[in-house]
Amino acid sequence: MANSAQARKRARQAVVARAHNGSLRSRLRTAIKAVQKAVVGGDKAAAQAVFRTSMSTIDSIADKKIIHKNKASRHKSRLSAAIKAMAA
């Protein structure tokens, strides 16, 4: 338990930050799943459109340091590869 006023305030702030970060992480997962669903659907044009919107979401969450930039890059690369593999 926090014993000083500063520690109590930091504990309160941590609760708010954790909720905010959780919602952003959820948005990231939803964006990734949307692209994967479009790839499974088989429509390459639709998958590319969803990927373009998801890329900005992934980048913004990485910029806020919710996930590491390399993890964001890895997700984007794998989604892009899945879309490119649709033509073959």
45-87 pLDDT, tens digit per residue, is 999 999 999 999 999 999 999 999 999 999 999 999 999 999 7
Structural domain count, the chain: 1
Residue 2 has pLDDT above 90, yes or no: no
pLDDT at 88: 62
Report the chain's C-alpha Rg in angstroms.
18
Helix, strand or coil, per DSSP, at residue 3: coil
What span, in angstroms and rounded, lies between the C-alpha atoms of 74 and 48? 17
Q: Which domain holds residue 9?
A: 5-85
Do the Cβ atoms of 66 and 18 come closer than 8 Å? no
Do the Cβ atoms of 44 and 87 come closer than 8 Å? yes
At 56, which CATH number? 1.20.58.110
3-55 pLDDT, tens digit per residue, is 999 999 999 999 999 999 999 999 999 999 999 999 999 999 999 999 999 99
25: which residues sit within 8 A by CB, 6+ positions away? 61, 66, 67
pLDDT at 21: 97
